Amino acid sequence: MSAMPKLKARHIPILATVVVFVLLYAAASLYFPNFFSLRVFANLFIDNAFLGIVAVGMTFAILSGGIDLSVGSVVACTGIVLSKLVTQYGYDPFFAIALVLAAGMIFGAVMGCFIAFYDLPPFIVTLAGMFFARGLSQIISLESIPLNSPALMTVANFGIPLSDRVNFPFIAIVLVVSVIAGTLVAQYTKFGRCVYAIGGNEQSALMMGLPVRRTKIGIYALSSFFATLGGVVYTLYTFSGYSLSGTGLELDAIASVVIGGTLLSGGVGYLPGTLLGVMIQGVIQTFISFDGTLNSWWTKIIIGALLFVFILLQTWISKSARFRRSAARQG
């Protein structure tokens, strides 16, 4: 009889995420019996689709040991530009979506070039990108712009029926597809392996001959692409563009990634864990909505506490790994 496989340290954060999600969902279902329903479960995907998509891109940045603070502003700028192109200038909505996705990817690639070629900290570069995108969206319009497009309304109303009364709509489908695509890229492509290698040890990745600069440019192009896609989904969710939307979204995305088991130091993490991190936030928000007596700011308080716990867990894992490496060298 074979022995049970030993649990590896890098699997502990994702395992902790799964346990937290199951416990929170079970506790909410016991407190509110209606919580454990297909409609509520589908709404978790619908209401958090844009955040989940943005968090997919953020995962790649954090896996590489970096960060992307521009994503919330990119979401706002995407909504403003898309709504203005379609409603005020009469662009074909699908061409306009393709245009903003391409522009978002180029914007991320430019930030990646500054990071890769000038060795600038991602924090500073993406902070500048955050101010640039937010400022641009406010220059375009300070007022909310409605999205008037029957074609996009049809797309937004499309869904896969889960039951007689519950549909899994288009924006939720985009979230699931984004997570699957991101997982495949991270786990089964050369680009994904380079991302993990850079996050693990950039100098070692350079010595191995990996294309570090090219990969960094690709990381921030990909992060910005998913932020733009999240902006498109958010615009379909609200059917308007507003320059102040997405404020603080970058912090929610970072929290989702960390709670999802990705180490802030980089090199360890899984995309499905990020989705669970998003769903944990969704469960907490939905529970507060069901209760009706709690202030919505309790969501931030609970997420802050969970984030603190997961950072402590990550610190313990990192110290344990260093101790094992030191012991192995001395042995």
Q: How confident is the model at residue 1 (pLDDT cuts 50, 70, 90)?
A: very low
Comparison of pLDDT for 9 and 312, the residue scoring more: 312
Q: How confident is the model at residue 2 (pLDDT cuts 50, 70, 90)?
A: very low
Instruction: Give φ, ψ of 10 to 5 degrees.
Output: -70, -15
Please tell me the least confidently modeled range out of 124-128, 288-292, 319-323: 319-323
Q: What is the pLDDT of residue 327?
A: 62
Q: Where are the domains of the chain?
A: 50-272
| β-bridge mates for residue 168, sequence order | 160
Read off the pLDDT of each residue in 153-175 and give the average, rounded to a whole number.
94
Q: How confident is the model at residue 47 (pLDDT cuts 50, 70, 90)?
A: very high
pLDDT tens for 219-236 read 999 999 999 999 999 999
Please tell me the least confidently modeled range out of 30-44, 186-200, 219-233: 30-44
Q: How confident is the model at residue 290 (pLDDT cuts 50, 70, 90)?
A: confident
Read off the pLDDT of each residue in 244-254 and give the average, rounded to a whole number.
95
Q: What is the pLDDT of residue 3?
A: 45
pLDDT exceeds 70 at position 328: no
Q: What is the pLDDT of residue 91?
A: 96
Q: What is the mean pLDDT of the chain?
A: 91
User: Using CA atoms, how far apart are residues 246 and 68, in angstroms rounded to an integer?
Assistant: 14
pLDDT tens for 5-34 read 555 767 778 888 898 899 999 999 998 988
Between strands 240-241 and 159-161, the pairing is: unpaired
User: Using CA atoms, how far apart are residues 147 and 236, in angstroms rounded to an integer?
Assistant: 8
- The pair of three-digit structure tokens given for residue 8, joined into one six-digit string: 């590896």
Whole-model pTM? 0.93
Percentage of the chain modeled with pLDDT above 70 = 93
Between strands 159-161 and 167-169, the pairing is: antiparallel
Q: What is the pLDDT of residue 322?
A: 63
pLDDT tens for 85-104 read 999 999 999 999 999 999 99
For residue 62, give the nearest of 330, 206, 277 by alpha carbon. 277
